[in-house]
Structure 1
Amino acid sequence: MHDGARERAAGLTSFRRYTWWAVPGTAGAVLVSLVGSWIVDGDLPAWARVLAVAALATETAACLVLLSGRLAHGAADDGRPELPPLGWLSAAGAATVVLAVLPLAWRTHGVWAVAPAVTVAIGATYLPVRPRRWLIGGATLLALLPGGAVSLAEGDGELAYAALFPAGLVAFTVWTVLGPLWAWDVAGRLDRARRLEAELAVKDERLRFAADLHDIQGHHLQVIALKSELAARLAEVDPARAAAEMREVRRLSADALRDTRAVVHGYRRTTLDDEIAGAVRVLAAAGIDARMVLDPTAATAGLPDPTRHLLGLVMREAVTNVLRHSHARHAEVEHRVTGGLARLRVSNDGADAYPAGAEGTGLTALRERLRAAGGELTWDRDGDRFVVVATLPADSVLPSSTPSANGAAR
C-alpha cells in the first residue's frame, strides 16, 4: 500500500493537511505579511527594495520547500530526520542575511529578526534533539546582540525592545514550528507501530498454524511409520496381524486428515486425556512397556481447557520423542494435581540413543508457552534415563496472544 493510501486508512490525511497549514503555510504567511509590509511601506531606496523583494521571495520559497519536505519525510523512530536539501538551505541562509541586514540598517528592530527566526526554526526541525537545543539556545542569545548594538550606537533609547523582542521572536517562532511537527512525528511513529503490530499478528498466526500442523502430522506420521514397519515384518509370519496393523494405519491416516482440516478451520484442541489414552496404544505398539500413574483426583480436578491443552501438547511431544530418539524398553507417565498445581512427568530408559548436545526446539518452545501461562517445563538426562516434567497452576489460563509455536520435535 502506498503512502497516500496508508494515510487515508489511518485517518492521517486531514492531520497532514492541518499540519501543513500550521507549519509551512503559517511560516510563509508570516514572512510575506510582516517583511512584505515593511518593504512596501518602508522608506527604502529602489535598489534596497528590489533586493529585499528578491530575498523575501527566495526565503518564502525555501521555507515552503524545506518545511514541506520535512513534513513529507517525517522523523525516523530514533528521532533523526533526513538531511535537508543543501541548495534550498543555502538559499534560505543567503536570503536571511539580506532580510536581517536591511531592516537593521534602517533601524527597524521589529522586522529584522523575522527571517532569521524562521530560518532557525527550519534548521531546528532537521536536527536531532541535542544539537537542536544548542541551536535554539544559541540563536536566542545571539538575537539579543544585533538590535541592542544598533540601538546603543544610535542612542535611540529603545535598547530593551531592540534586544529582547528579536530574542523572544526567535523562541516563539521555533516553538510554533516545532510543536505541530513533533505531533506529526509522534502520529507517524504510532502509525508505523500499528502496522508493525498487524504484521506481527499475521506472523504469529502463521507460527500458530505451523506449530499445530507439526503437533498433528509429526505425531501421526511417526506412529504411521512405526506401524507400517511392523506390518511389513508381520506380512509373512502373521498376515492377519499385519492386516490389522494396516487397518490401524488407515485409521491413523484418516485421523491425521481430519485433524489437519480441523486446524485449517481453527477449532482443533489437543487434550491431556486423549494424549494419555493414545500414548498407551502407541507405546505398546512400539514394544515399550508403558506404566501409567494417574492420580484419581486429577480426573476430577476440573482443570481448565487451556491447561489440559498445554499438558496434552507436552504429553504428545514427550511420546513422539520417545519414538524418534530412544530405544526405550520402559516408559512411565505420571499425572497428579496437588497443592493447586497440575504436574505431568514422562520418563523413559532409552536416552543413550539420543545424540549428545542436541536439544532441538520442540520442548524449548513448549517451555516458553508454559512459562507464559505461569508454569514450568524441565527435562533432564541421567545416564539412560530421560525425564520430562511439566507443571501448571490448576487454574491457569493461556494468554490469547501467546503463539502456539511448538517448532520441530526435539
Structure 2
Amino acid sequence: MDGGPRERGSGLSGFRRYTWWSLTGTLVFFLVVTAGGSALDRSVPGWARTLGAVALAVLVAAIVVSLRFRLSHPSDGLRGGRSPVGWLAGGCAAAGVLGAVALVAREYQEWALAPAAMVAVVAVFLPPAGRRMLVAAAVVVAAVLGCVIGAASGGGEGASAVVVPVALVAISSWLTLGMLWGWDVAERLNAAGRLAAELAVKEERLRFAADLHDIQGHHLQVIALKSELAARLAEVDPARAAAEMREVRELSAEALRDTRAVAHGYRRTALEEEIANAAKVLAAAEIRTSVDRGADGAQELSETGRHLLGLVMREATTNVLRHSKADRARIAYRVENGRALLRIGNDGALGSPPQAPGTGLPVLAERLRNAEGALEWRSEDGWFEVVASLPTGTAGAE
C-alpha cells in the first residue's frame, strides 16, 4: 500500500501498511483455517462445499478491499458517507453462507467466526455510537442463535454453544476496532503535526512583516520629516538644509541595512538605542522631550524584553510624528517589583492613531501578551500615552 503525498516522510505510510497487513492477515488466517476446514469436510455435501469455497473467496476479497479502503481514507472523511457498500454487502452475504455451511458441517461453536469478522469490518465504517449498537446487537443475536443451535443439536453442547459465538463476536470487534483506533490516532497526530508546522511558518511570516513594518515605517517617517525640514531651510539656511539632507542619506542607508538584517534574521531592536534615537528625532521635529530612565533599569531586563520594548518605543515615536501635533513629549522607563514599565506620552493627541489590521500597536500588544506582558494606549484631555510592561525575566517569547 503506497502512501500519498500527505504521508511521505512522516512514517505514516509504513504504519498504515503494518496495520493493514496485521489486521487483514489475522482475519483471513482464522477464516481460512476454520471456514476452509468446513468447506473441505467430506461429510459436507458437495454443493455445500462448493458454495462454501465461493463464499470464502468473496468474504476474503470483501475484507481485503474494505480494510484497504478504510485505511486509505482519513477517518474524518468517512463521516461523509463514503464506504465500499457493494463489497460490504457481498461480504455480509458470504459470511452468512459460511456460517450456514459450518452448521451443516456440525461446527456448532465456530460457525460465528465469519459473521463476527464481517460485523467488525462493517463497524469500522460507522460512527462510535453506531459501532457500539452494531456490536451489542451482534452479541445478542449470537447468544440467541447459540441457545437455539445448542438446543436443536441435542449433542450436549451446553454453554459453549452460547459462549464461543459471543466471544468470537467480541474478540473480532475488539481486535479490528482497536487496531483501527490506533491508526486513526496516528493519522490525527500526523495531521496535527502538519498543522503545527504550517502555523509556525505563518507566525514567522507575521513576525517578519511586523518587524519590517516597524523598521520601514519609522525610518520613512523620519526621512519625510527631515526632507520637509530641509526643503523649508533651503532658501533661508542652505548649510543646515544640506546637513539635514546628509542625515536623510544616512537614514536611508541605515534603513537599507536594517531591512537586510531583518531578512537575514539577526537584527535586534535595543530599548536603550530606541529611547536615545526617539529623543533626537522628536527634538528634530521641534517637540520638547523629557526622558526619565530610572536607575540602571534597562540592565535588569532580558535581551528579549529590551527588544520588545524597543519595538514599542519605535512604534510610539512614529505615531507621535505621524498622528499628532505635539509640542511636548515624555518618555519614562523604570523597573518596579520585577516588572519593566515604559511610558511614552505627548500633548498633541488627535485621538487614538489609526491602526491597519496586522500592524502597529495591536500587533505589539499581542506579542507582549505572549511574553506575559501588557501594552495599553489611552487619550485623555489631549494627552495620549502608550504604556508597556514586561516581567524582567522575559526570555524567548516573541
TM-score, normalization: structure 2?
A: 0.93
User: Which one-letter code corresponds to 2:48 in the other structure?
Assistant: A
Cα distance in 1 between the residues matched to 2:144 and 2:302:
75
Aligned-pair CA distance for 1:219: 0.5
C-alpha spacing 1:361/1:244, structure 2 compared with 1 (3 Å):
same
Match of 1:54 in 2: 54
**1:350 aligned to 2:367?**
no
Cα distance in 2 between the residues matched to 1:354 and 1:118:
69
Match of 1:408 in 2: none
User: Which one-letter code corresponds to 1:334 in the other structure?
Assistant: A
Match of 1:318 in 2: 316
Match of 1:405 in 2: none
Q: Deviations 1:369-410 (Å, cap 9, x if unpaired)?
A: 2222222211111131111111122232242xx4xxxxxxxx
Aligned-pair CA distance for 1:3: 4.0
Aligned-pair CA distance for 1:238: 2.1
Bigger shift: residues 345-354 or 318-327: 345-354
Cα distance in 1 between the residues matched to 2:326 and 2:92:
82
Aligned-pair CA distance for 1:67: 0.9
C-alpha spacing 1:398/1:8, structure 2 compared with 1 (3 Å):
closer
**1:22 aligned to 2:22?**
yes
Q: Deviations 1:73-125 (Å, cap 9, x if unpaired)?
A: 14239x95863211111111221221223323454213321111111110111
Alignment of 1:194-213 (within 5 A): 194-213=193-212
Match of 1:406 in 2: none
User: Which one-letter code corresponds to 2:59 in the other structure?
Assistant: E
User: Which one-letter code corresponds to 2:180 in the other structure?
Assistant: L
C-alpha spacing 1:45/1:359, structure 2 compared with 1 (3 Å):
closer
Q: Deviations 1:116-148 (Å, cap 9, x if unpaired)?
A: 111111011111212111111221121111132
Secondary structure of the residue that 2:389 maps to in structure 1? strand
Cα distance in 1 between the residues matched to 2:304 and 2:270:
9
Match of 2:366 in 1: 368
Contact 1:352 1:383 in 2 (8 A): no
Alignment: residue pair count:
397
Cα distance in 1 between the residues matched to 2:204 and 2:49:
68
Aligned-pair CA distance for 1:6: 5.1
Aligned-pair CA distance for 1:303: 2.3
C-alpha spacing 1:263/1:361, structure 2 compared with 1 (3 Å):
closer
Q: Deviations 1:32-76 (Å, cap 9, x if unpaired)?
A: 221011110152222222222221111111011001111121423
Bigger shift: residues 28-37 or 11-20: 11-20
Match of 2:70 in 1: 70
Secondary structure of the residue that 1:113 maps to in structure 2? helix
Cα distance in 2 between the residues matched to 1:354 and 1:134:
61
Aligned-pair CA distance for 1:298: 2.1
Cα distance in 2 between the residues matched to 1:23 and 1:88:
18
Secondary structure of the residue that 1:345 maps to in structure 2? strand
Contact 2:214 2:360 in 1 (8 A): no
Q: CA RMSD in A?
A: 2.2
**1:96 aligned to 2:95?**
yes
Aligned-pair CA distance for 1:360: 7.7
C-alpha spacing 1:239/1:357, structure 2 compared with 1 (3 Å):
closer
User: Which one-letter code corresponds to 2:381 in the other structure?
Assistant: G
Aligned-pair CA distance for 1:302: 3.4
Percent sequence identity over aligned pairs: 55
Contact 1:110 1:162 in 2 (8 A): yes
Q: Which runs of 5+ in 2 are unaligned?
A: none
Q: Which runs of 5+ in 1 are unaligned?
A: 403-410
